[in-house]
Structure 1
Amino acid sequence: MTSSRVASDLASILVPIGVVGAVLAGLCALVAAIAIMRGAAGLAGGAVGVWIPAAVLSLAASFANQWTPVIVSGAVLVGLLVIGAVVRGIVNAGEPARSTRRAARVAAVVAGAPAASAPATTSPPSTGTIPALAR
């Protein structure tokens, strides 16, 4: 086998592996962006942690001089993280107005609630199955 034939055979194997890695990296970047939008830092960190091996897998295509999967996986992560942060900022900017409306609704419900006719009775706190801890 000539070296060009070996390179062609390797390219036919490594390029699809790199494309699969780029797709997995894109999915992980999407999960990270959604997690940032929702404010779930742990999920975002986990998604970026899984993105790293997927991006390394996309490097397999670079052995056949195909750099597109690597560039796409990196660009998708950066783009979606920026989009997630911007959307999270927009959500946080609207939060004070939402909490003010919620407090006004609660105050209206409390002010319009009828007075209780009988005092509420409470039972002693339960301590589980050990009666010695009840006192």
Structure 2
Amino acid sequence: MTTLRMASDLAAVMVPIGYVGAALAVIFAIVAAVAIVRGSGGLAGGAVGLWIVGALMSFAASFAREWTPLIVACAALAAMLIVGSVVRAIVNAAGVERADRAVEELPKAVPASKTPVTATSKTPVAATS
């Protein structure tokens, strides 16, 4: 059974942890939006994975019945996912490509029956010692 003093002391620790977690979650949500705009699925997944850690930290503030950090963290992810997707759609519709993503043509496959025959010597080469 906890006393009022112990609950107050725990709340004094948990609420700042919740606000720090919310700040981290907002940063990771912004990173996820930038990754979506760039088309980097791995980075977006990693950023959302780290956002989960920040959101769990922001949940710590609920010990003191302070729900603002969790609401801010969830709203940030929702907003950034929408913004990232909309900007990505605009970039795709505009046809703007990044210079480092130039598509290189691969060589065409030629069946073995149609490969040109190269002249090779039929006489064995003598090995010299």
When normalised by structure 1's length, the TM-score is 0.68
Superposition map of 1:19-30 within 5 A: 19-30=19-30
Identity of aligned residues (%): 59
Partner of 1:110: none
Partner of 1:118: none
- Are 2:6 and 1:13 aligned? no
Task: Give 5+ residue unaligned stretches, structure 1.
Answer: 100-135
Q: Distance in 2 between matches of 1:28 and 1:48?
A: 7
SS of residue paired to 1:66: coil
Superposition map of 1:110-129 within 5 A: none
Find runs of 4+ consecutive structure 1 residues off by over 6 angstroms: none
Partner of 1:3: 3
Q: CA deviation at 1:8?
A: 1.3
Q: How many residues align?
A: 96
What code does the residue aligned with 1:3 have? T
Superposition map of 1:24-63 within 5 A: 24-63=24-63
Task: Give 5+ residue unaligned stretches, structure 2.
Answer: 98-129
The structure richer in helix per residue is 1
When normalised by structure 2's length, the TM-score is 0.71
Q: CA deviation at 1:3?
A: 2.0
